[in-house]
Structure 1
Amino acid sequence: MRIHHLNCGSLRKIPLSGDEAASVGPAADGPGREAALVCHCLLIETPSDGLVLVDTGLGTADRRNPDAALGADWVAYAQPALDPEESALRQVVRLGYAPQDVRHIVLTHLHRDHTGGLPDFPHARVHVHPEEYRAVTDPAAPHHGHSLERFMSAHRAHGPLLTPAPVPAEGAEEGDGTWFGFPGAAYPLGLERELAIVPLPGHSAGHAGVAVRGDDGRWLLHAGDAYFYHGELEQTPPASHPVLDPVQQGAQTDAAARVATRDRLRELRREHPDEVTVFSAHDPWELARFLPDGGTDAAGSRGLPDTRDERRSRR
């Protein structure tokens, strides 16, 4: 499977935090001392299930009428760039595909900066972890009001094909529902366990990471908003960001679970460095590690070449 790393929404700029800022020169490759937060999404070319989009960032309608679609308070704080070229829709086309080729969308959770592109792919089946599905569909579920408030009406008015991914029962033939020791993993697409939705609780009621196994056998774990800044996983003790920490605390549904998830991700990186690469949804320095130019283009994949003619020749 070929995996593309996309930035589907640049947000407010933040500086590197703490000791890191002193070690990065202003002319360094990549985002440098200061960079715009991103909406890090994946576009996966599968052999049998078409294109799979992991998170959607901000959509085309969000950029046309941001206050109505995203909420004026959120727009004022997040300061989205609103560049239409950053939308997943435009980037899919620029890679040589049609929007209809996106057959599946897998979401880490149902917050506005992850669901904005849903109306751009109304035909796609949208997979979430069962706990996140229940949080927005069952009035009796814990955090139902909180969850539905953050799943913006503009992103669900078209009636997305929202689907809870199945979790294998204990002792089932297809496995015990664990992924590297994380319980409750769901396998939505029948891709022979090449893609898993892995519970990473704390940020939202059913927050999860999306794990994808590449052709080299290594796993990528898109950890969504389980953490916001690479220092939380890579530094000892964990180093959060002074700008982002209040956002994490304000959005979380369970503070203790969020911290426990962060610590479990630190353990995963430490114990399986050659098997799993972990990254989050908004850290621009993490995204830069996956980009051919090292992230010098702050818009992520905005600089991707137009490959439509090349793609047509392969069909």
Structure 2
Amino acid sequence: MARIHHLNCISTCPLGGWLMDGISRSAFERGRLTCHCLLVELHNCLVLVDTGLGRRDVADPASRLSKFFLGLVKPEFRDEMTAYRQVVALGFDPRDVRHIVLTHLDFDHAGGLDDFPWAQVHMMAVEHDYAMQQRTWMDRQRFRPQQWSTRDSWHTYTPIGGDRWFGFQHVKPLQDLSSDIAMIPLPGHTFGHAGVAVRRDAADWLLMAGDAYFYHEEMRIDAPHCTPGLRFYQWMLEKDRLARFDSQRRLRHLAHEPNGVRVCCAHDLIEFEALAGRPASVAATPPAHTPASTMPAAVPLTMHTQGNLHG
């Protein structure tokens, strides 16, 4: 079982105010969205789920990020909010982050990869292959090779075979990790977009759905709702609309079944603050007990490749 720390790895402040986040005072001010990442404590290592924007993005955003997105979402560049700095603030050694699991390769999810060059990075093969092609103008704005110095340590997974997990198929346990963490294909926002499920205890899972949805009210069974600005933003970035709507439909039903699964997304401030128990503008702080500064040497774990992960 795993312990989870919730990290906001640099807020973005998009044009449109309440048209985007639903809580700003007007549409003429900048809104506020999170880059919700997870730091997962396993018995022998730490695992990051997404990395948000990283220290190199903070130090030199113009060389790493596109002018288009810098103007549109205006990240709040604060070094103390990077995943690396928050891992340190929690009392851990960053070198104990031995694995990073990506929902997808958008710039605001992969920016911190460079801060953990020793970590093995896990993603869907379709995501890797498409992002590498840099096929369209928008692809070149969102998928930033400047953030990919760790490509030699990337490990990819095909959407073939795998397990079933609460009705989802082709679920991938991760190489050298226990079956307490798995990738669930949730295509649409990108072709290889995935959710990441983390088992918190025997009957309790958290599913980080990344950008499969953006606003908490999209998970309502009756009359799901998204703010106009985020509805447009999702349309602008979607790679497969039918797949995106299907992923949202399946997540919506999962979130309302009595199955012990909590669903969250990457950019909703209300969800983040409910799970983290602190304002999104505040970096993570150590828990009541101080964790050890180093963890045991890595021990290979058996992959769970057959049967049901929750069975």
Q: Structures share a fold, TM > 0.5?
A: yes
Spell out the pairing of 1:86-165 with structure 2 (5 A cutoff): 86-137=81-132, 150-165=142-157
Residues 91-138 of structure 1 show CA distances to partners (whole Å, capped at 9, x for unaligned) of 01111122211100000001100000000001111000222133235x
Return the alpha-carbon distance in structure 1 between the equivalents of residues 183 and 256 of structure 2. Answer: 21
CA spacing shift, 1:148–1:206, aligned 2, 3 Å: farther
Partner of 2:265 in structure 1?
Answer: 280
Aligned AA (2:8): N
Residues 230-252 of structure 1 show CA distances to partners (whole Å, capped at 9, x for unaligned) of 01112621101112111100111
Partner of 1:261 in structure 2?
Answer: 247
Return the alpha-carbon distance in structure 2 between the equivalents of residues 313 and 162 of structure 1. Answer: 24
CA spacing shift, 1:60–1:290, aligned 2, 3 Å: same
**Contact in 2 for aligned 1:122/1:160 (Cα 8 Å):** no
1:212 Cα shift?
0.5
1:70 Cα shift?
1.3
1:188 Cα shift?
0.9
SS at structure 2 position matched to 1:80: coil
1:60 Cα shift?
0.5
Structure 1 residues not aligned, in runs of 5+:
27-33, 170-175
1:314 Cα shift?
8.8
**Contact in 1 for aligned 2:206/2:261 (Cα 8 Å):** yes
Return the alpha-carbon distance in structure 1 between the equivalents of residues 230 and 152 of structure 2. Answer: 30
Instruction: Compute the RMSD of aligned alpha carbons.
Output: 2.9
Aligned AA (1:80): P
Aligned AA (1:311): A
Residues 253-300 of structure 1 show CA distances to partners (whole Å, capped at 9, x for unaligned) of 01111111111111111223x4100000000000011123xx3x2325
How many matched pairs? 288
CA spacing shift, 1:282–1:151, aligned 2, 3 Å: same
Question: Structure 1 length normalisation: TM-score?
Answer: 0.82
1:16 Cα shift?
8.1
Return the alpha-carbon distance in structure 2 between the equivalents of residues 304 and 222 of structure 1. Answer: 21
CA spacing shift, 1:160–1:9, aligned 2, 3 Å: farther
Residues 150-209 of structure 1 show CA distances to partners (whole Å, capped at 9, x for unaligned) of 32121113535111136673xxxxxx5222111111111444421110001100010010
Mapped pair 1:185 → 2:171: yes
Residues 35-91 of structure 1 show CA distances to partners (whole Å, capped at 9, x for unaligned) of 62100000011113x110000000001111112211111011111110111000000
Mapped pair 1:44 → 2:26: no
Structure 2 residues not aligned, in runs of 5+:
297-311
**Contact in 2 for aligned 1:166/1:187 (Cα 8 Å):** no
Partner of 1:76 in structure 2?
Answer: 71
Aligned AA (1:304): T
Structure 1, 9-18 or 252-261: larger mean CA deviation? 9-18
Structure 1, 160-169 or 218-227: larger mean CA deviation? 160-169
**Contact in 2 for aligned 1:177/1:186 (Cα 8 Å):** yes
CA spacing shift, 1:312–1:51, aligned 2, 3 Å: closer
Identity of aligned residues (%): 40
Aligned AA (2:78): D
**Contact in 1 for aligned 2:104/2:194 (Cα 8 Å):** yes
Partner of 1:304 in structure 2?
Answer: 285
Partner of 2:8 in structure 1?
Answer: 7
Return the alpha-carbon distance in structure 1 between the equivalents of residues 275 and 154 of structure 2. Answer: 29
SS at structure 2 position matched to 1:178: strand
Aligned AA (1:194): D
Match of 2:213 among 227, 233, 238: 227
Return the alpha-carbon distance in structure 1 between the equivalents of residues 154 and 11 of structure 2. Answer: 26
Return the alpha-carbon distance in structure 1 between the equivalents of residues 294 and 130 of structure 2. Answer: 44
Partner of 2:180 in structure 1?
Answer: 194
Return the alpha-carbon distance in structure 2 between the equivalents of residues 181 and 144 of structure 1. Answer: 33
Return the alpha-carbon distance in structure 1 between the equivalents of residues 233 and 94 of structure 2. Answer: 33
